[in-house]
Structure 1
Amino acid sequence: MPAASSLKVVIVDDQQTMRSLVRTGLEQLGFKDFQEAGDGEAGLRCVLTQPPSLVISDYNMPKLDGLGLLRAIRSHEPIRSTAFIMLTGRADKELVQRAVQFGVNNYLVKPFTVAQLKGKIEAVFGALT
């Protein structure tokens, strides 16, 4: 049972509004350590320079989409086991199946509630304290 405050999160989304919504939800759950990136390439740089406990990434972004970011993380040994939750505006079965093939830990469909966010994170880490 990790404490939310002990987990470092990288939020990757090309929409500032969505990054703010995720950050606000995480703050309500007790998270304190965040980094934000506006696209997959910037997100990958964040993960490589200061490896987080969790990446919450949008699927549809310029430069490097969420699947590309997931694949890059899973193919790089030092960060391979980083937890990854895919954020998507569509509950597309094919997208979810591809994300599962690449090793996604969970996915969250937009719009979402704080309770749904908590449930997806707890499905990966166990109950948050």
Structure 2
Amino acid sequence: MPVASAISVLVVDDQLTMRSLVRTSLQQIGMRDIREAADGELALREIITKPAHLVISDFNMPNLDGLGLLRAIRAHPPTSKTAFIMLTGRADRELVQRAVQFGVNNYLVKPFTVQQLKDKLEAVFGPLT
């Protein structure tokens, strides 16, 4: 049962407004260690330099998309166990199946509520008390 404030998070989205929305939602849940990256390439460099417990990543981004980032994180032994939640505007079955195939822990469809995000986090980490 991790305390929310003890979980380090890397939020990855090419849209600043979406990163801000995710950050604010995480803060409302009690998370404090939140970093951001504007695309998958920057996120990969960031997580290799300073690992996180959780990556919340958009699917559709320039340079390296969410699936590519997920695959790269899973292929790198020091980061392979990092929890990964895919954030997407499209909940089509093919995308979800591919993400599951590559080891995603959960996915969240935009737009989302703070409670939906908390539910997805608790499905990965257990109760955030």
> TM-score over 0.5 for the alignment?
yes
CA shift for structure 1 position 99: 0.1
Structure 1, gaps ≥5 residues long: none
Secondary structure, aligned partner of 2:91: coil
Residues paired across the two proteins, number: 129
TM-score, normalising length: structure 1: 0.99
State the 1:42 CA deviation: 0.4
Report the equivalent of 1:86. Answer: 86
The Cα offsets for residues 33-67 of structure 1, whole Å up to 9 and x where unpaired, read as 01100000001111101100000000000000000
Tell me the C-alpha RMSD between the 2 structures. Answer: 0.3
Question: Within 5 A, what are the aligned runs for 1:50-61?
Answer: 50-61=50-61
- Aligned AA for 1:45? R
Give me the whole-angstrom Cα distance separating, in 1, the residues matched to 2:46 and 2:28: 23
Distance 1:107 1:45 in 2: 22
Distance 1:122 1:51 in 2: 20
Unpaired stretches in structure 2, ≥5 consecutive residues: none
Aligned to 1:110: 110
- Partner amino acid, structure 2, of 1:16: L
Distance of 1:30 and 1:115 partners within structure 2: 12
TM-score normalised over the length of structure 2: 0.99
Residue 5 of structure 2 aligns with which residue? 5
1:70-107 CA-partner distances (Å, limit 9, x unpaired)? 00000000110000000000111000000000000000
1:118 positional shift? 0.1
The one-letter code of the counterpart of 1:109 is V
Deviation at 1:108, TM superposition (A): 0.1
